[in-house]
C-alpha cells in the first residue's frame, strides 16, 4: 500500500488524542489505555558484503504507531488489545534499480492487532491462569523464544497462542504449557483493518512448549528446563509469477524459502548472581527431528559471565560465548542449528541483514561467537555499551545455491564485529537510542563478499 504522509499524520493524531482523552479515566475505571510512537532513521552500508551490488546501501525511515487498551473488571477476567501501524520511506535503494517487482519507496503497512487476547483465572483459589489469543511470548533472554513474526522487522513479535500457567508455590516453581498456531501472513482473524495482507514468517507453524522455572534451587537466581516442538509447513503464495519463495512486507519484496519438518528440542537454562559483583547465565539445547527433508541433529549453547565494577559510572564488563552447530557437508544428516522462534537482533542489528547470504533474515546458525563488552551509566538517564565480537563458522556447508555462491569451502573466520549503543530515557514519555555497528568480514565469505559493512540507527520513542 502506498504510504501517504498526510494520512499517517492524521492516524498519529487520532491515536494519540484518543490516549490523551482516556488518561483521566484510568484511575477509577476497569479500562486502561495508552499509546506510543516510534521514529527511526536507519543507514546500512553494504548489505550482502559486496560494494558493487545496486541495492547494497540502504537509507530509510520508519514510523510506528501503537494504541493499546485493556479491560479488567475483576481478578478472574481481562481483555487485552493493541492496534499497530507502521510506514516506511526508502531513500535508498532506488525503486528503479530494485531487482524484484513490487518495491515501494513510500510504503504504508497494515493496521492490525498485534495483541488481542483474554486473561482467565477460572478458580480464584487455584494458582492457574490462562492467556488465549494473540500475545507476546518471551522466555529467558529470548535466545530461543521471542520472535513470532521475523519478516516484519521488529514491527511486531506476536504469537497466536494459548498459554496456561500454574504456580507451584511450595516449590517456588512456575510451569507454562503453550500451544502455538502461527499463520505465515496476516490474512486470518484478526485481519488488518485496512485490508493490507503481509507476510510475517516464511511458513505456517504449529508448536508446543513446556517450560519450567524454579527460583528455590539457587539463592539469587533461577533454573529453567523446557521441551519445545515446532512443525513447519510450506507457504507457496505466488506473489511474483514463478517465484513462490518471494515474501512481501515493509514494501521491499525479497526471496526467502519456507522451512518444512518437525523439530524437537530439550534444554536448560541458569541465570544467577555468583557474588555481589559476578553474575552468570548459560543455556543449552539439543534439537532433533526432521528439517527440509533431512534428519536433524543439532546443538546450541549460549553463555555470559558478567562483572560489576561499580564506581561513579556504574561500570560493568561481560564475556559471552555462543556455539550454534553447523551442517556437516559430508553427512546426510542436517546438523544446522535451528533458532526456532528467536530470529531477532540479539547481539547485532547489522548481521540480521547478512545472514541471508547463507540462511534467512536473522537466522543465526553455524556460529561460534566470542564477545567482550563494557557498559557504563554516565548519567542517571543514559547508558553506554561497547562490544567486540569475534565470529567464526563451524562448517563450510554449500548445499544451497546461496551458500554455494556466497561462502568458501575452507575458511572459518566470519569476521570482526564492533557495536556501540547509547540509550537514554528522559522520563516515562520520552526515550531514544543511537546504535552503530561495523563489520570487517573474514575468509569464510566468498572473495566477492568481503567488503566492509556498517549499520547506524537513531530512534525516538514517545509514550502516553
pLDDT in tens, 210-267: 999 999 999 999 999 999 999 999 998 766 666 678 998 999 899 999 999 999 999 9
From 11-20, 173-182, 369-378, the region with the lowest mean pLDDT:
11-20
* Residue 186 phi, psi dihedral angles, 5° rounding: -95, 20
Q: C-alpha grid cell for residue 74?
A: 475483576
Handedness of CA 345, 449, 414, 269 (dihedral sign): positive
CB 273 within 8 A of CB 316: no
Residue 194 has pLDDT above 70, yes or no: yes
Split at pLDDT 50, 70, 90, the class of 322 is very high
| Planar angle of CA 425, 430, 431, nearest 5 degrees | 40
**CA-wise closest residue to 415 among 437, 391, 385:** 391
Residue 399 has pLDDT above 70, yes or no: yes
- Fold category of 5-463 in CATH: Porin (2.40.160)
Split at pLDDT 50, 70, 90, the class of 46 is very high
CB 232 within 8 A of CB 205: yes
* Measured distance CA(29)–CA(27) in Å, rounded: 6
Can you give the pLDDT at residue 2? 54
What pTM does this model have?
0.92
% residues pLDDT > 90 (the chain):
85
Residue 282 has pLDDT above 80, yes or no: yes
Query: pLDDT tens digits, residue range 130-189?
Result: 999 999 999 999 999 999 999 999 999 999 999 999 999 999 999 999 999 999 999 999
Residue 6 has pLDDT above 60, yes or no: no
Amino acid at each position: 500500500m502506498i504510504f501517504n504522509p498526510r494520512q499517517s499524520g492524521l492516524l498519529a493524531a487520532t491515536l494519540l488524542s484518543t490516549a490523551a482523552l482516556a488518561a483521566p479515566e484510568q484511575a477509577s475505571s476497569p479500562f486502561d489505555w495508552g499509546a506510543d510512537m516510534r521514529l527511526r532513521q536507519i543507514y546500512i552500508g553494504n548489505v550482502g558484503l559486496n560494494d558493487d551490488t545496486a541495492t547494497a546501501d540502504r537509507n530509510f525511515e520508519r514510523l510506528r504507531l501503537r494504541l493499546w487498551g485493556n479491560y479488567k473488571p475483576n481478578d478472574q477476567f481481562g481483555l487485552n488489545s493493541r492496534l499497530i501501524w507502521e510506514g516506511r520511506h526508502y531513500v535508498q535503494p532506488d525503486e528503479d534499480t530494485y531487482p524484484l517487482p513490487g518495491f515501494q519507496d513510500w510504503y504504508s503497512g497494515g493496521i492490525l492487532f498485534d495483541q488481542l487476547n483474554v486473561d482467565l483465572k477460572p478458580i480464584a483459589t487455584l494458582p492457574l491462569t490462562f492467556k488465549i489469543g494473540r500475545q507476546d511470548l518471551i522466555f529467558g533472554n529470548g535466545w530461543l523464544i521471542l520472535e513470532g513474526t521475523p519478516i516484519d522487522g521488529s514491527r511486531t513479535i506476536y504469537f497466536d497462542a494459548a498459554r496456561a500457567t500454574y504456580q507451584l508455590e511450595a516449590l517456588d516453581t512456575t510451569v507454562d504449557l503453550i500451544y502455538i498456531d502461527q499463520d505465515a501472513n496476516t490474512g486470518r482473524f484478526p485481519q488488518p483493518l485496512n485490508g493490507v495482507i503481509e507476510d510475517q514468517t516464511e511458513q505456517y507453524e504449529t508448536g508446543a512448549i513446556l517450560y519450567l522455572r524454579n527460583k528455590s534451587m539457587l539463592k539469587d537466581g533461577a533454573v529453567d528446563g523446557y521441551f519445545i516442538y515446532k512443525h513447519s509447513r510450506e507457504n507457496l503464495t505466488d506473489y511474483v509469477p514463478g517465484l513462490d519463495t518471494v515474501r512481501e512486507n515493509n514494501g521491499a519484496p525479497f526471496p526467502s524459502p519456507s522451512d518444512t519438518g518437525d523439530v524437537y528440542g530439550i534444554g536448560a537454562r541458569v541465570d544467577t548472581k555468583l557474588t555481589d559483583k559476578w553474575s552468570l547465565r548459560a543455556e543449552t539445547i539439543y534439537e532433533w527431528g526432521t528439517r527440509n527433508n533431512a534428519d536433524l541433529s543439532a546443538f546450541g549453547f549460549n553463555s555470559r559471565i558478567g562483572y560489576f565494577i561499580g564506581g561513579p559510572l556504574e561500570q560493568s564488563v561481560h564475556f559471552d560465548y555462543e556455539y550454534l552447530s553447523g551442517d556437516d557437508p559430508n553427512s546426510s544428516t542436517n546438523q544446522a542449528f535451528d533458532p526456532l522462534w528467536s530470529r531477532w537482533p540479539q547481539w547485532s542489528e547489522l548481521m540480521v541483514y547478512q545472514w541471508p547470504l547463507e540462511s534467512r533474515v536473522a537466522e543465526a546458525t553455524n556460529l561460534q561467537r566470542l564477545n567482550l563488552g563494557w557498559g557504563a551509566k554516565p548519567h542517571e538517564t543514559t547508558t553506554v555499551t561497547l562490544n567486540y565480537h569475534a565470529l567464526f563458522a563451524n562448517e563450510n556447508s554449500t548445499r544451497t545455491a546461496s551458500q554455494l555462491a556466497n561462502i568458501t569451502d575452507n575458511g572459518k573466520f566470519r569476521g570482526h564485529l564492533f557495536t556501540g549503543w547509547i540509550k537514554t530515557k528522559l522520563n516515562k514519555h520520552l526515550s531514544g537510542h543511537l546504535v552503530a555497528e561495523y563489520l570487517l568480514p573474514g575468509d569464510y565469505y566468498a572473495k566477492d563478499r568481503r567488503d566492509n559493512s556498517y549499520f547506524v540507527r537513531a530512534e525516538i520513542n514517545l509514550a502516553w
